[in-house]
Structure 1
Amino acid sequence: MSVAEKVSAGTFEARDLYAPEVISNPYPYYAMLRDKPIQFGLEDYPPGTIPGVDKPIPSWVILKYADLVHCASNHATFSSRDRMQEASDAASLMLVNHDQPEHTRLRNIARKAFTPKRVESDVGPWLKAVVNEMLDDEGDGYLDFMENLAADLPARFIAKLLGTPQKDCKRIRGWSDAFMGTSHLSMEEKVRSNAELLDYYTEQVTRRYADIEAGRASDDLLTGFILAEDGGKRLTPMEVIRFCITMVAGGAESSVYLLGNQVAAMLEMPDLYQKMRADRSLVRPFLEESIRRDGPIQRLFRECTEDTEVSGTKMKKGDWVALFFASGNRDPAFYERPDEFILHRPNVGKNLTFSHGIHHCIAAAVARNEAAEMINGILDRYARVEPGDGPVVYQSAGFINYGPKSCPVKFVRG
């Protein structure tokens, strides 16, 4: 039966979530399942794993805000280690897939690498200049925001942060698409892409170690990862490589959809666009509500380290659990009128888009700054942002991120 037929028959279950029509618009399906007992059986793929190569692990599907916070807060019971990713040929992500005490060591080192100078004062002026350059190059009129703007900026930003060549940004974007499962590449192409991604950052990191040894390294994030210490210990070269890949997976992929979802919201609410043009203090509240309602990250996995229970559902040690944080952001038990876009929502800061607890995304502020710069750049130039020459089409290839594959717009100057 098709998804539509199962919905009509009342037989749609959590195991049916992994379908293109659900991935492109998952929120109505979350709502159908949220108040039912927690269901088991979804087979999905963590970052870097490949359908046809890696075997998925059936999981419990957690959809309620309170349950998500419970699981994310109890990291001793719900481990972040990803045995499916570890068994694959993909590089395991840093921080995301580590438990205590290793997670604390890695996060302390990452905090020392993510200095305000490296990620704000040094990069901030560059980011503003690049956004201005990109928008000036596009001018006004019709364009696909995703293809012409959103696809390029995050990869350029990550390259700048890490101090790697800007000329490689298109390749970085392609690798991140494949790694995060949002491309329609063949199985063989995804395998090759993952290998190229690992080889690229192995080469970049090896070169940077040599530059440091020779006394000619620049003060960027990659250098910071290499030199930062916790308790007198530094990262291994492979850990540095995996940190770079983690930055690409989150920064060069999820940020693309964060930007696209914001522009889609502008198209949806032209009156709010005009209010933001007149009052820039509304940009941050707009950004935060967009992150809540339309956040790109959909879910992360956990593994039960012991027999446990969530909302009356018993789970066994070793069971796989999918935490659908995006569903929690639309849970009416926590957010009033959750499907509506409400500026100045009082509890918007409690959204789960950047995870919760010890695994809250360490680069969340970087993503926010990138998005705010693009919003302000658009507001500076254009009197209106109107629908373009076609509908907004949402990606349907993989469940990690939600956002437009294509977002046709018309930029209109005043």
Structure 2
Amino acid sequence: MIRSDINPFDSESGNRYLAFREMRGVAPAHEVDGGQLFIVRQKAVEEGLKSVGSFVGSFGDIGQAAEEDTIMAAIPEPRHGKIRKLFNSALAYNHASQVEPFVRRYAAGRIDDTLACATRDGEVEIMETYARRIPSAVIAEVLGIPNDRIDDFARWSDEVLVLQGEEDRVNEPIWSLHPEFTRYIEEQIQMRVDSEDPPNDMITRLLQVEVEGERLSQRAVLTQSMFLIIAGNETTRNLIGNVIRRLAEDPSRYQQVREDRSLVPTLVEETLRVDSPVQLLARTCTQDVEIDGVQIKKGDRVLHSLASANRDESVYSDPEEFRLDRPKPRDHVAFGAGPHICPGAFLARMETEVAVETLLDRVAEMALAPGYVWDPNPVFWALGPRTLRVILTPA
């Protein structure tokens, strides 16, 4: 196995894409600090993510936590498939077309507030006033939780992610990390359990849906609900922020998309590829396996680099270039691959497209604020702006 000195957890490394390219040119997998295997070529990443019987989505000890305390991505097959069916059955009620009217109303209100918060010169920190709030509101709507807690959702999500990054807490159930967050979701679950006529929302459906005569326990509903809130907040917030940054850094691109709204989906997909909001997926190998010629042993910790795979020169022409004319714009692995692909991808796409369309409707021109310096999200596996100061000219 080839050893590399690159630190894949360094979210502020301006050289990582160059390093990824060099690594791809040498081998599909490299050993990095800590002994993890860093997978860099798209073929190898796809093979690994599709080999769901050979990997579990966790860096914790395999099988240490009870199933009801384990987020869906970390439950091994074949149980993962059954739990995912329950989850998908509940999520299916919230098809994008059903949630979209709410998202459009909410985004319109948030862009009004964003413009109102701008200085006389039109400068505003758009992550706080716009990009950060939309995912929290959508998750609250889907789960059936009052939207007066959306600021708490964003705060709780950030705090849990910081705690999860501590090495000595990697095996802890998600609900044990944040008592305030856990208590609130437990109250929401209990309210539905006690009600003779519970609301028709996702928490209720997670409690009631059956697959092969089996239901989720209340503890499992707690775990999966908290995971949905955290994952939906973090990844979609980063995606919206990355798209806005791509538009603001090139005012001519903003005008191009504003004049041709059919480019919005391609804009979102190209941002997913070039600025993957989830940079890597951690897996633990559950049995000896070969991926793209690389021998991986049971117990090995594996990092599938979505960021590297999405810039693989063997797959894309001009992979480092941001292009709105790229053929097959959805041909990327930003949401993963195979049976465990992100179940909320349709929501993330819809939220981001609506956020962009609302911005285009209400803002005639947008540019980065003078002196703005890239301020990245500190979460090691994510990519997105923590803050993003822009100049807005109302339409």
> Under a length normalisation based on structure 2, what TM-score does the superposition of the two structures give?
0.88
CA distance in 1, matches of 2:240, 2:328: 22
CA 1:68–1:86 in structure 2 vs 1: closer, same or farther (change >3 Å)? Answer: same
Kept in 1, the 8 Å contact 2:7–2:33? The answer is: yes
Partner of 2:20 in structure 1? Answer: 30
Kept in 1, the 8 Å contact 2:192–2:199? The answer is: no
Kept in 2, the 8 Å contact 1:17–1:29? The answer is: no
Partner of 1:149 in structure 2? Answer: 130
Amino acid at match of 1:199: R
Of the candidates 8, 11, 19, which is equivalent to residue 10 of structure 2? 19
Could you tell me how far 1:165 is from its partner in structure 2? 2.1
Percent identical? 27
Of the candidates 231, 240, 257, which is equivalent to residue 250 of structure 1? 231
Amino acid at match of 1:196: E
Secondary structure in structure 1 of the residue aligned to 2:178:
helix
Partner of 1:337 in structure 2? Answer: 318
CA 1:74–1:132 in structure 2 vs 1: closer, same or farther (change >3 Å)? Answer: same
RMSD: 2.9
Kept in 2, the 8 Å contact 1:155–1:173? The answer is: yes
CA distance in 2, matches of 1:194, 1:380: 39
Of the candidates 192, 197, 203, which is equivalent to residue 208 of structure 1? 192
CA 1:194–1:252 in structure 2 vs 1: closer, same or farther (change >3 Å)? Answer: same
1:125-204 equivalences under 5 Å are 125-139=101-115, 141-181=122-162, 194-204=178-188
1:61-80 equivalences under 5 Å are 61-80=38-57
Secondary structure in structure 2 of the residue aligned to 1:338:
coil
CA distance in 2, matches of 1:412, 1:105: 50
Q: Give the number of equivalent residue pairs.
A: 383
CA distance in 2, matches of 1:341, 1:231: 46
Partner of 2:288 in structure 1? Answer: 307
Partner of 1:46 in structure 2? Answer: none
Could you tell me how far 1:207 is from its partner in structure 2? 1.8
Return 337-346 or 251-260, whichever deviates more.
337-346
CA 1:81–1:183 in structure 2 vs 1: closer, same or farther (change >3 Å)? Answer: closer
Secondary structure in structure 1 of the residue aligned to 2:52:
coil
Kept in 2, the 8 Å contact 1:86–1:92? The answer is: no
Partner of 1:60 in structure 2? Answer: 37
Partner of 2:92 in structure 1? Answer: 115
Q: Spell out, residue by residue over 1:146-190, the C-alpha distance to the aligned partner (whole angstroms, 9 max, x if none).
A: 1221122111111111111222222211121123349999x99x9
Could you tell me how far 1:306 is from its partner in structure 2? 2.4
Amino acid at match of 2:269: E
Secondary structure in structure 2 of the residue aligned to 1:354:
coil
Q: Spell out, residue by residue over 1:335-379, the C-alpha distance to the aligned partner (whole angstroms, 9 max, x if none).
A: 111111111422332211111001111110101111011100110
Secondary structure in structure 2 of the residue aligned to 1:345:
coil
Could you tell me how far 1:128 is from its partner in structure 2? 0.7
Secondary structure in structure 2 of the residue aligned to 1:321:
strand
Structure 2: tracts of 5 or more residues without a match: none
Matched, 1:278 2:228: no
CA 1:156–1:85 in structure 2 vs 1: closer, same or farther (change >3 Å)? Answer: farther
Return 62-71 or 176-185, whichever deviates more.
176-185
Q: Spell out, residue by residue over 1:40-64, the C-alpha distance to the aligned partner (whole angstroms, 9 max, x if none).
A: 2444xxxxxxxxxxxxxx4111111
CA 1:136–1:32 in structure 2 vs 1: closer, same or farther (change >3 Å)? Answer: same
Kept in 2, the 8 Å contact 1:258–1:371? The answer is: yes
Could you tell me how far 1:392 is from its partner in structure 2? 4.2
CA distance in 1, matches of 2:219, 2:85: 17
CA 1:384–1:85 in structure 2 vs 1: closer, same or farther (change >3 Å)? Answer: farther
Structure 1: tracts of 5 or more residues without a match: 1-10, 44-57
CA 1:184–1:60 in structure 2 vs 1: closer, same or farther (change >3 Å)? Answer: closer
Could you tell me how far 1:398 is from its partner in structure 2? 2.4
Kept in 2, the 8 Å contact 1:182–1:397? The answer is: no
CA distance in 1, matches of 2:163, 2:17: 18
CA distance in 2, matches of 1:14, 1:368: 35
Partner of 1:235 in structure 2? Answer: 216
Partner of 1:103 in structure 2? Answer: 80
> Under a length normalisation based on structure 1, what TM-score does the superposition of the two structures give?
0.84
Could you tell me how far 1:76 is from its partner in structure 2? 1.7
Secondary structure in structure 1 of the residue aligned to 2:391:
strand
Moved over 6 A (4+): 182-185
Could you tell me how far 1:305 is from its partner in structure 2? 2.3
1:319-334 equivalences under 5 Å are 319-334=300-315
CA distance in 2, matches of 1:364, 1:78: 21
